[in-house]
């Protein structure tokens, strides 16, 4: 398995924290069913007005399918200037530093 990481960031006016969790709970549940997605970390910086996510995928082909669909979804919400970057995962070094590379049960 060649793990791939996706980082998405974009400007956002809120809601933040628990309000964001309530507002986007349904989306989170939908994303949890994404083929090949092992996990997503939701990120937010209310001071900078920025949010996004860090996603770990089983492989690049599944990441590519997701990114096409998810960027279209974000744009349908009126979100522009989206930064999306793909990365390879160095598994041996990540394991040394305690990174969880498998889906938590």
Which residues have C-beta within 8 Å of that of residue 31, sequence separation ≥ 6? 37, 40
Alpha carbon 39 to its chain's center = 8
Q: Considering only 17-26, 62-71, 76-85, 95-104, which range has the smallest mean pLDDT?
A: 95-104
Residue 74's pLDDT band (cuts 50, 70, 90): very high
Residue 1's pLDDT band (cuts 50, 70, 90): low
Alpha carbon 1 to its chain's center = 19
Answer yes or no: are the C-beta atoms of 37 and 67 closer than 8 Å: no
């Amino acid at each position: 398995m060649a793990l791939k990481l996706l980082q998405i960031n974009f400007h956002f006016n809120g809601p933040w924290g628990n309000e964001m969790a309530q507002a986007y709970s349904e989306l989170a549940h939908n994303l949890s069913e994404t083929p090949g997605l092992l996990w997503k970390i939701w990120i937010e910086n209310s001071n900078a007005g920025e949010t996004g996510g860090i996603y770990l995928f089983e492989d690049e082909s599944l990441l590519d399918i997701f990114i096409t669909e998810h960027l279209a979804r974000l744009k349908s919400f009126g979100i522009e200037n989206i930064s999306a970057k793909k990365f390879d995962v160095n598994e041996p070094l990540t394991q040394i530093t305690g990174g969880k590379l498998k889906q938590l049960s």
